[in-house]
């Protein structure tokens, strides 16, 4: 007897249904995220970039650093880098942001539509809303507990270490939620709960010195804005994926 309930194997028609549902949901959710970001998130980032740009000038006037134990290498390794080509502010920046959001939306919607198909239960926008909430928890909330969204000018741990921890946290959170919801016996459900806790018990990678050019109030506003923007993105994407999966069926 299988430990986890699954649906029968998908055929070619189901595959096309998943692709079409994900494309429609991802495009619409990506556009929604872009709109919310322009209203809530982008103004905060622009303010942070002003502080980041002003920081070198302030260091020239007062070269002493408040953290005497921080070495230049540590800051060069952890600080966000903004060198190279960047889109101009205005339409160009918004356009590339929309392209990135739509690409991410289609990719995430593929995972949601595939999960809806795999479970094989009745699909509608309400069921999709629950899938979106699960995706929001696994892909954004859980990693943000250890690695909250950061403004430009924030010192961070090495990129590779953060990427590895983020990937492990997403995998553990998604697996843990799946066991809590779909497992048939309590030992597996308890294992799912432990999977949710494991990345946070291990701890996320942190920089040697915590520092940011932006004020703490601005960082808090950025955190709340990104939490709300991504909640709208994931919930809308889940509801749309459920709706289109049923419609295209």
Dihedral sign for Cα 141, 145, 146, 147, please: positive
Q: How far apart are CA 169 and CA 204, in angstroms?
A: 9
**Global model pTM greater than 0.75:** yes
The DSSP code sequence of 102-150 is HHHHHHHHHHHHHHHHHH-----HHHHHHHHHHHHIIIIIHHHHHS---
pLDDT beyond 70 at 2? no
* Residue-level pLDDT at 56: 61
Q: What does residue 183 show for φ and ψ, rounded to 5 degrees?
A: -65, 150
* DSSP bridge partners of 154: 212
pLDDT tens digits for range 183-208? 999 999 999 999 999 999 999 999 98
Residue 47's Cβ-count burial label (10 Å; 0-12, 13-18, 19+) is middle
- The helices-and-strands tally (H runs, E runs) of the chain is 9, 0
Q: How far apart are CA 132 and CA 152, in angstroms?
A: 28
pLDDT tens digits for range 14-64? 899 999 999 999 999 999 999 999 999 999 999 998 988 886 654 344 443
* Residue-level pLDDT at 210: 86
Domains of the chain: which residue ranges? 9-60+87-154+216-249, 157-211
* DSSP bridge partners of 183: 4
* Residue-level pLDDT at 65: 39
pLDDT tens digits for range 91-121? 888 999 999 999 999 999 999 999 999 987 7
pLDDT beyond 70 at 176? yes
Which pair of structure tokens corresponds to residue 32? 């929604």
In sequence order, the 6+-apart residues with CB closer than 8 A to the CB of 234 are 29, 108, 132, 133, 135, 136, 139, 140
């Amino acid at each position: 007897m299988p430990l986890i309930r699954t649906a029968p194997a998908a055929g070619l028609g189901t595959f096309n249904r998943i692709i079409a549902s994900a494309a429609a949901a991802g495009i619409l959710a990506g556009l929604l995220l872009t709109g919310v970001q322009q209203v809530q998130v982008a103004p905060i980032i622009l303010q942070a970039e002003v502080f980041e740009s002003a920081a070198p000038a302030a260091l020239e006037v007062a070269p002493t650093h408040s953290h005497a134990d921080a070495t230049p290498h540590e800051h060069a390794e952890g600080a966000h880098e903004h060198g190279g080509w960047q889109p101009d502010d205005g339409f160009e920046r918004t356009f590339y942001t929309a392209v990135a959001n739509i690409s991410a939306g289609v990719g995430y919607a593929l995972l949601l539509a595939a999960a809806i198909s795999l479970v094989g239960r009745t699909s509608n926008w309400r069921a999709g809303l629950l899938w979106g909430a699960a995706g929001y928890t696994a892909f954004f909330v859980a990693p943000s507990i250890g690695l909250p969204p950061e403004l430009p000018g924030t010192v961070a741990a090495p990129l590779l270490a953060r990427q590895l921890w983020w990937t492990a946290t997403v995998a553990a959170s998604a697996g843990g939620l799946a066991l809590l919801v779909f497992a048939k016996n309590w030992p597996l459900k308890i294992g799912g709960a432990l999977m949710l806790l494991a990345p946070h018990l291990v701890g996320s990678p942190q920089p040697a010195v915590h520092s940011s050019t932006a004020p703490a109030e601005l960082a808090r506003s950025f955190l709340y804005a990104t939490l709300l923007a991504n909640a709208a993105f994931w919930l809308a994407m889940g509801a749309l994926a459920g709706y289109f999966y049923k419609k295209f069926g």
